Structure 1
Amino acid sequence: YRPRATLTAGTTIIPVGGSVTLTCFVQSSDGWKYEWFRRTQTTFEVPIRGQQNRDIRVSQGGIYSCRGTRGNPVYYSDRSDDVTVTITYKPKAKLRADNTAVPVGGSVTLTCSVNPSSSSGWKYYWYRDGNYSEALTTQDAVFHSNGQISVSQEGLYRCRGGRGNPVYYTEYSQEVQINKTLTVSGADSSLSPVWLMVGLVSGVSLIIILLLLLYCCRQSKCKSLFFSCCIREFIYYIHFNYSHIYMYSDRTIHITNMCNNICLFHRFLLHQVDPV
């Protein structure tokens, strides 16, 4: 009876630049050394020289097998089944956000993932505003699970996956911009009706004064001198009462070009008043 070697692999898919541990063992008894073999779809099988340990680490794709050896003369176990190790290109992480605007007093959830066709075991690293030398910590975000965090600070976020020892990283994810929601405070919004009422009352008052002045001048059939006095009184009244209107929050509305407006009004009244 000849024992049979068994070959196992930590994973059969490794990224470019990564590696995997292969383990060969014979169960019947101790004292075995091991021989390793590799071939590809296009090359013949060759022994892996310098490797007699039970565990070896490989970084090349190919079809691997092993067998046990011991004694003198050498006694061989049966060959193991083949294990195919495949090299894949470096995967890229994917980042998505449930919302890109942080509500007032709230947060948004970010989710990082690696292509499902890749093997599992990824740990995720988070970065903000181009600082890729230092990943975010629990002081910067709330870590819910291996692939999710909640953030309340605005900024440009990215993530990547890593696994193994030494750590093998995926490509960085695309960038996601997170902004804070801007709202109008209650104090500012409550002033809007006050502004509207002040402006409305001022406009109506000015119209009433203009109409009354026009009526008085037409009834009195004032001469030019009297009319000039009337206009001067009107200008004084307007200047005294309407040259400045003070609002809340130190905001001032200035009625500009008052002289130009009065001159236009003067010409209008001269046209309306019948000559005496």
Structure 2
Amino acid sequence: IILLFFIILVNEKRVPSWTQIYRDTTVTVRCEIQGGEGAQWTYEWRQNQLNTPPTSSVYTINRVTESDGGEYSCRGRRSSSWTEWSDSTPLKVIVPIKPTLTLQPSWTPIYSGETVTVTCEIQGGEGAQWTYEWRPAKLNTPQTSNEYKITVTESDSGGYSCRGRRDYSLTYWSNIIRLTVSSKPKAELRADRTAVPVGGSVTLTCSVSPSSSSSSSSRWKYYWYRDWKSNEALTNGQISVSDGGLYSCRGGRGEPVYYTEYSESVRIDTTVSNRPVVTLYPNWSEIYRGETITVRCEIHGGDTEWDYEWETNSIIKPPNQNEYRIRSASSSNSGNYRCKGRMKSSRYKTTEWSDSVTLTVSDNVHSAASLTVSPDRVQHFTSDSVSLTCEGNFTEWRVRKFSEDGRLYSDCRRMTGSTCNINTSKSDTAVYWCESGSGEFSSAVNITVQNDGNGPILVSPVHPVTEGASVSLSCSLKTQKILSNVFFYHNDKLIQNDTRGELNISAVSKSDEGFYKCQYSGRESAQSWMSVKGEQHQNI
């Protein structure tokens, strides 16, 4: 008795005759004759697409398509006799399923330390026993799981995809999802001013940068802290405060909550109604070298004890006391003075700054000397090359320096002709002026050396600006000279907050005089005084 069988194999594995085969699968059909072993058989096939030698019992289709589907049967011949045709076996070729890969959470960017889930979903394959294959291959998850969770680092950035396998067939690879993992962000805290006005408030804004392209999808909540005590989480990144304190914030999102780094702290003072006044004794219009004068800060109202703070652009800085007695005045004492008081009983309660009072000390000598600074700005970075050049009809010069610690230096260490060259360090923060061999003095200039290697400096003019002239202030980093999205402050009040990197004043007036500083990416520059002079006046 001779029995003839028709067999279908996929990936060398026998599959049932009713099987649906995915397109692009390698399929082998085989004709087996039991009871006719050892005989020399030739074979005949019944399916239009088959193109195989008649003596072959095996036919392989490397990548099946829908046109390969149909009814297959075979028979064998030996000498002049044929077997009967085998039973017909259907071969149905279908298009493979393409899984869908999803990523949760779906916001971008994802930050280092957050937990994400990638899920491989096979539509129409419900109920089947699938195993899963992942790209990249480093994903170490059970093959039976269609879900992969990972607490990401920056090295996990890349493209992810998946496919399913069951028995003898594979789905297509899914869509590729690009995962970009950024380093853990630091919240940025900005204040529209640093002192709460009487009866008013200060607006604080907390943000996470770079933020999502769609702020609603980033789902940040903001956690606020005053003196390191936490308040409730708010979805709004902006609050108004009327209490003084040391404020900070951070962002959080997801479940469990993923937190950013804390922002830099911002000190907010509460302004009291007491008003300080600076007075000069004697209050003469002009003080001459050698005279004695007292600069006094007076705060009226109540019996409160105060600590005093002074700001001045003079060469010599007054101590933080309510009274500064100058026993032998010189041009080094000339400048603008203003003060404020801080309550001893409450460290965050202060007065407003007083109005500035100008002290002019005359040496009674017309100065024929001048000092220029290159680069022409007050603030400089550590290790900058700065040149101070004396000009005038004199052959002998020296550059004198009055340092922050109150020491007077008579000579420049690197003097070439009339130019003093400085490779800046923090100790070079001082007031400088030129002195000729015959005793002529130039006007004095302030030089401030920034001590924070990552912080910005304010680019502002060294010499007073003439009323009606234009002036531009800007913010600069050591590694980046031109910045955008800079905050500018005048006397601690925010005056410009937009995408511009410069503060342009087209026609300077006396009201523009004062202390200026800039803030970039949460870091503040030191503040510098910008003087304004009338067209007919000479600088002191």
Name the TM-score class by shorter chain.
Answer: 0.5 to 0.7
State the partner residue of 1:30.
126
State the partner residue of 2:151.
59
State the partner residue of 1:105.
199
State the partner residue of 1:254.
none
Q: Which amino acid aligns with 1:130?
A: W
Q: Which amino acid aligns with 1:55?
A: E
Q: Is the 8 A contact 1:91 1:115 kept in 2?
A: yes
Deviation at 1:38, TM superposition (A): 3.2
Give SS of 1:31's match. Answer: coil
- Using CA pairs under 8 Å that are at least 6 residues apart, name the structure with larger relative contact order, 1 or 2: 1
Q: Is the 8 A contact 1:161 1:170 kept in 2?
A: yes
What are the residue-to-residue correspondences of 1:207-226 with 2, within 5 Å?
none
Give aligned-pair identity as a percent.
51
State the partner residue of 1:16.
112
Deviation at 1:179, TM superposition (A): 0.7
State the partner residue of 1:68.
164
Deviation at 1:99, TM superposition (A): 1.9
Q: Is the 8 A contact 1:36 1:64 kept in 2?
A: no
Give SS of 1:171's match. Answer: coil
Q: What is the distance in 2 between the residues matched to 1:84 and 1:124?
A: 28
Q: Which amino acid aligns with 1:59?
A: T
Deviation at 1:23, TM superposition (A): 1.8
Give SS of 1:49's match. Answer: coil
Q: Is the 8 A contact 1:67 1:76 kept in 2?
A: yes
What are the residue-to-residue correspondences of 1:100-179 with 2, within 5 Å?
100-118=194-212, 120-131=218-229, 135-137=230-232, 146-179=236-269
| Offset from partner CA, 1:168-221 (integer Å, 9 cap, x none) | 110111111111112138xxxxxxxxxxxxxxxxxxxxxxxxxxxxxxxxxxxx
Q: Is the 8 A contact 1:24 1:34 kept in 2?
A: no
Q: What is the distance in 1 between the residues matched to 2:177 and 2:266?
A: 40
Deviation at 1:130, TM superposition (A): 2.7
Q: Is the 8 A contact 1:35 1:47 kept in 2?
A: no
Q: Which amino acid aligns with 1:172?
A: Y
Q: Is the 8 A contact 1:25 1:68 kept in 2?
A: no
- Structure 2: where are the runs of 5+ without partners? 1-94, 276-301, 304-540
| Structure whose residues are more often strand by fraction | 2
Q: Is the 8 A contact 1:113 1:161 kept in 2?
A: yes
Q: What is the distance in 2 between the residues matched to 1:63 and 1:27?
A: 22
Q: Is the 8 A contact 2:165 2:171 kept in 1?
A: yes
Give SS of 1:90's match. Answer: coil
State the partner residue of 2:271.
181
Q: What is the distance in 2 between the residues matched to 1:137 and 1:46?
A: 40
- Moved runs in structure 1, 4+ residues, more than 4 A? none
Deviation at 1:46, TM superposition (A): 4.7
Q: Which amino acid aligns with 1:136?
A: N
Deviation at 1:52, TM superposition (A): 2.9
**Which moved further from structure 2: 84-93 or 48-57?**
48-57
Q: What is the distance in 2 between the residues matched to 1:69 and 1:13?
A: 32
Q: What is the distance in 2 between the residues matched to 1:38 and 1:173?
A: 37
Q: What is the distance in 2 between the residues matched to 1:137 and 1:18?
A: 22
Q: What is the distance in 2 between the residues matched to 1:151 and 1:184?
A: 21
Deviation at 1:86, TM superposition (A): 2.5
TM-score by length of 2: 0.30
Q: Is the 8 A contact 2:141 2:148 kept in 1?
A: no
Q: Over alpha carbons, which structure has the higher Rg?
A: 1
Q: What is the distance in 2 between the residues matched to 1:14 and 1:101?
A: 36
| Structure whose residues are more often helix by fraction | 1
Deviation at 1:90, TM superposition (A): 0.5
Deviation at 1:57, TM superposition (A): 1.2
Give SS of 1:136's match. Answer: strand
Q: What is the distance in 1 between the residues matched to 2:112 and 2:222?
A: 19
State the partner residue of 2:173.
79
Q: What is the distance in 2 between the residues matched to 1:36 and 1:174?
A: 45
| Offset from partner CA, 1:111-163 (integer Å, 9 cap, x none) | 100003457221100001133xxx2149xxxx6x6111111110000000011
CA-atom RMSD, angstroms?
2.8
State the partner residue of 2:500.
none
Q: Is the 8 A contact 1:34 1:66 kept in 2?
A: no
Give SS of 1:124's match. Answer: strand
| Offset from partner CA, 1:50-74 (integer Å, 9 cap, x none) | 153333212341432111233xx34
Q: Which amino acid aligns with 1:68?
A: G
Q: What is the distance in 2 between the residues matched to 1:3 and 1:64?
A: 18
